[in-house]
Amino acid sequence: MRGLRAALPLLVAFLALGPAGCKRKKKEQTPTPEPAAVLLSTVNVSDPAGAVQLASGFFELESNTWRWTARKFTVVLRPPEGAGERGARLELHLNLPGVIVDRIGPVAVSAEIGGRALAPERYAQAGDYVYVRDVDAGSLRSSAVAIHFSTDKALPPGGADSRELALIVTAVGLAAK
């Protein structure tokens, strides 16, 4: 899949430039190549290729694997093929650390896409979870969508850490249905 993704811009460029080579002096025949094609549908937070899509609320990569998030965090994803017609499945791979549960109790995670709120999920025990929600096609017709996550509470800044800490996230993505 990664290879196909990498080849896509080249293919688009070839298709765009090919006719121009054959028919000189003719203007562009197709709409502007889609810049969002360079974006990923699923971002592993340790993957530098997707780091630019972690738009806000993500802290520095730790142990080359995961990142703390603030109470609100936003990611920009490219909807997978056909998501504009069939919708897609949003998956947030998270870990609720014991330190969070011990100090602030259960945490509810929710998300919002294009003004539409997705149902929250409450996590009471420390551990690994995947927050999964179906996203309707109407919210995924753009070439890139901003997805806003939030938790109902977070560990406030204090002590040696000046950050507001909510979740540990390893990956977030939109999967085709």
Distance CA 174, CA 49 (A): 16
Q: Is 63 in the site for another protein (CB under 8 A)?
A: no
Q: Which is nearer to another protein, 26 or 125 (CB)?
A: 26
- Could you say which of 7, 13, 15, 29 contacts another protein (CB under 8 A)? 29
Q: Is 138 in the site for another protein (CB under 8 A)?
A: yes
Q: Is 115 in the site for another protein (CB under 8 A)?
A: yes
Smallest gap from residue 11 Cβ to another protein (A): 15
Distance CA 115, CA 118 (A): 10
Q: Which is nearer to another protein, 30 or 125 (CB)?
A: 30
Q: Which is nearer to another protein, 107 or 147 (CB)?
A: 147
For residue 144, give every residue at least 6 positions away whose Cβ sits within 8 Å of its Cβ, in sequence order, or none: 36, 39, 76, 77, 78, 79
For residue 25, count other CB atoms closer than 10 A to its CB. Answer: 5
Distance CA 55, CA 39 (A): 12
Distance CA 146, CA 75 (A): 6
Contacting residues toward another protein, per CB under 8 A? 23, 25-29, 31-32, 34-36, 38-39, 48, 51-53, 55-57, 59-61, 70, 74, 76, 84, 114-116, 136, 138-139, 141-146, 162-163
